[in-house]
Amino acid sequence: MFKKLKKIFYLYILHKKYYRTGSCNACGRCCQKIYVKHKNVIQTEEEFKKLQLLHPFYTYLKIIDKDETGLVFECSKLDKSTNKCTIHKSRPGICRRYPQEELFKMGGTLAEHCGYRLEPIESFDEVFEKVSRKFK
Ligand code: SF4
Ligand code: SF4
Protein backbone atom coordinates (compact mmCIF):
# COMPACT_ATOMS: atom_id res chain seq x y z
CA MET A 1 0.00 0.00 0.00
CA PHE A 2 2.81 2.43 0.97
CA LYS A 3 4.63 1.57 -2.26
CA LYS A 4 1.54 2.33 -4.30
CA LEU A 5 0.93 5.66 -2.54
CA LYS A 6 4.57 6.60 -2.96
CA LYS A 7 4.35 5.84 -6.66
CA ILE A 8 1.23 7.97 -7.09
CA PHE A 9 2.81 10.82 -5.13
CA TYR A 10 5.97 10.80 -7.21
CA LEU A 11 4.21 10.40 -10.55
CA TYR A 12 1.23 12.70 -10.19
CA ILE A 13 2.14 15.20 -7.46
CA LEU A 14 5.87 15.63 -7.96
CA HIS A 15 5.68 14.75 -11.69
CA LYS A 16 8.80 12.61 -11.44
CA LYS A 17 9.74 9.73 -13.67
CA TYR A 18 12.60 8.34 -11.56
CA TYR A 19 13.25 7.39 -7.96
CA ARG A 20 16.64 8.42 -6.66
CA THR A 21 18.24 5.59 -4.72
CA GLY A 22 21.66 4.95 -3.23
CA SER A 23 23.87 7.49 -1.52
CA CYS A 24 26.86 9.69 -2.10
CA ASN A 25 30.22 7.96 -1.75
CA ALA A 26 32.03 11.32 -1.80
CA CYS A 27 34.01 10.56 -4.96
CA GLY A 28 33.87 14.25 -5.97
CA ARG A 29 33.42 13.44 -9.68
CA CYS A 30 30.25 15.48 -10.10
CA CYS A 31 32.20 18.59 -9.04
CA GLN A 32 34.94 18.09 -11.61
CA LYS A 33 33.43 17.75 -15.04
CA ILE A 34 30.47 20.04 -15.21
CA TYR A 35 28.47 21.38 -18.13
CA VAL A 36 26.26 24.35 -17.48
CA LYS A 37 22.93 24.66 -19.19
CA HIS A 38 21.01 27.91 -19.20
CA LYS A 39 18.55 27.62 -22.08
CA ASN A 40 21.43 25.99 -24.00
CA VAL A 41 24.68 24.45 -22.85
CA ILE A 42 27.12 27.31 -22.26
CA GLN A 43 29.57 27.55 -25.14
CA THR A 44 31.54 30.75 -24.63
CA GLU A 45 33.27 32.65 -21.86
CA GLU A 46 31.07 35.69 -22.61
CA GLU A 47 27.89 33.67 -22.03
CA PHE A 48 29.38 32.31 -18.83
CA LYS A 49 30.32 35.75 -17.50
CA LYS A 50 26.70 36.90 -17.88
CA LEU A 51 25.51 33.80 -16.07
CA GLN A 52 27.84 34.45 -13.16
CA LEU A 53 25.84 37.57 -12.39
CA LEU A 54 22.71 35.48 -11.89
CA HIS A 55 23.78 33.05 -9.15
CA PRO A 56 26.81 32.82 -6.82
CA PHE A 57 27.20 29.11 -7.63
CA TYR A 58 28.51 30.03 -11.06
CA THR A 59 31.24 32.16 -9.54
CA TYR A 60 32.67 28.97 -8.00
CA LEU A 61 33.16 27.40 -11.40
CA LYS A 62 36.21 27.67 -13.57
CA ILE A 63 36.57 26.70 -17.18
CA ILE A 64 38.88 23.74 -17.68
CA ASP A 65 38.07 22.61 -21.20
CA LYS A 66 35.74 22.79 -24.15
CA ASP A 67 34.40 19.82 -26.06
CA GLU A 68 31.66 19.05 -28.59
CA THR A 69 28.99 19.60 -25.86
CA GLY A 70 30.24 22.95 -24.63
CA LEU A 71 32.45 24.52 -22.00
CA VAL A 72 33.61 22.14 -19.27
CA PHE A 73 33.94 23.44 -15.71
CA GLU A 74 35.21 22.29 -12.37
CA CYS A 75 34.28 23.73 -9.03
CA SER A 76 36.89 25.67 -7.14
CA LYS A 77 35.25 24.68 -3.84
CA LEU A 78 36.34 21.07 -4.22
CA ASP A 79 39.42 20.04 -2.29
CA LYS A 80 41.00 17.70 -4.82
CA SER A 81 43.29 16.06 -2.27
CA THR A 82 40.29 14.76 -0.27
CA ASN A 83 37.51 15.01 -2.90
CA LYS A 84 35.50 16.89 -0.30
CA CYS A 85 33.52 20.08 -0.73
CA THR A 86 35.11 22.85 1.31
CA ILE A 87 31.74 24.55 1.80
CA HIS A 88 29.75 21.36 2.36
CA LYS A 89 27.48 22.81 5.07
CA SER A 90 26.57 25.87 3.02
CA ARG A 91 26.78 24.32 -0.45
CA PRO A 92 24.21 25.59 -2.96
CA GLY A 93 20.83 23.93 -3.41
CA ILE A 94 21.80 22.64 -6.85
CA CYS A 95 24.56 20.57 -5.18
CA ARG A 96 22.27 19.37 -2.38
CA ARG A 97 19.72 18.13 -4.88
CA TYR A 98 22.22 16.36 -7.17
CA PRO A 99 21.50 14.11 -8.97
CA GLN A 100 18.07 15.07 -10.23
CA GLU A 101 16.34 13.51 -13.20
CA GLU A 102 16.51 16.88 -15.00
CA LEU A 103 20.08 15.82 -15.65
CA PHE A 104 18.78 13.31 -18.21
CA LYS A 105 16.56 15.92 -19.86
CA MET A 106 19.70 18.00 -20.37
CA GLY A 107 21.32 15.05 -22.09
CA GLY A 108 23.59 14.40 -19.10
CA THR A 109 24.37 11.19 -17.27
CA LEU A 110 25.38 10.33 -13.74
CA ALA A 111 29.08 10.64 -13.04
CA GLU A 112 30.94 7.36 -13.41
CA HIS A 113 30.81 5.31 -10.17
CA CYS A 114 28.33 7.71 -8.60
CA GLY A 115 26.74 6.04 -5.57
CA TYR A 116 23.27 7.21 -6.62
CA ARG A 117 20.98 5.57 -9.11
CA LEU A 118 17.98 7.01 -10.90
CA GLU A 119 15.49 4.20 -11.36
CA PRO A 120 12.36 4.48 -13.52
CA ILE A 121 9.19 4.65 -11.41
CA GLU A 122 7.20 2.88 -14.09
CA SER A 123 8.44 -0.18 -15.90
CA PHE A 124 8.71 -0.27 -19.68
CA ASP A 125 5.58 -2.50 -19.80
CA GLU A 126 3.56 -0.02 -17.73
CA VAL A 127 4.55 2.89 -19.95
CA PHE A 128 3.87 0.84 -23.08
CA GLU A 129 0.41 -0.11 -21.81
CA LYS A 130 -0.41 3.55 -21.02
CA VAL A 131 0.66 4.71 -24.48
CA SER A 132 -1.23 1.86 -26.18
CA ARG A 133 -4.41 2.80 -24.30
CA LYS A 134 -4.17 6.35 -25.66
CA PHE A 135 -4.17 5.08 -29.24
CA LYS A 136 -7.06 2.63 -28.88
S1 SF4 B 1 29.99 23.70 -4.15
FE2 SF4 B 1 30.80 21.81 -3.31
S3 SF4 B 1 29.29 20.22 -3.83
FE4 SF4 B 1 28.89 22.02 -5.11
S5 SF4 B 1 30.00 21.62 -7.04
FE6 SF4 B 1 31.34 22.83 -5.68
S7 SF4 B 1 32.58 21.33 -4.59
FE8 SF4 B 1 30.83 20.25 -5.47
S1 SF4 C 1 29.37 11.71 -8.32
FE2 SF4 C 1 27.76 10.88 -6.96
S3 SF4 C 1 28.88 9.74 -5.38
FE4 SF4 C 1 30.36 11.13 -6.38
S5 SF4 C 1 30.35 12.98 -5.12
FE6 SF4 C 1 28.86 13.30 -6.77
S7 SF4 C 1 26.89 12.64 -5.87
FE8 SF4 C 1 28.51 11.80 -4.57
Task: Kindly state the percentage of the chain with pLDDT values over 70.
Answer: 99
Give the number of whichever ligand sits closest to the CA of residue 20: 2
Name the burial class of residue 60, with classes exposed (0-12), middle (13-18) and buried (19+) by CB atoms within 10 angstroms of its CB: buried
Which residues make Cβ contacts (< 8 Å) with residue 79, sequence separation at least 6? 85, 86
Residue 2: per-residue pLDDT: 85
Task: Give the binding-site residues of ligand 2, using a 6 Å CB cut-off.
Answer: 24-30, 98, 111, 114-116
pLDDT of 19 > 90? The answer is yes
How close is the Cα of 111 to the center of ligand 2, in Å? 7
Residue 31: per-residue pLDDT: 95
pTM: 0.80
How close is the Cα of 73 to the center of ligand 2, in Å? 16
What tens digit of pLDDT does each residue of 86-123 get? 999 999 998 998 898 887 776 678 888 899 999 999 98
Distance between CA atoms of residues 98 and 134, nearest Å: 34
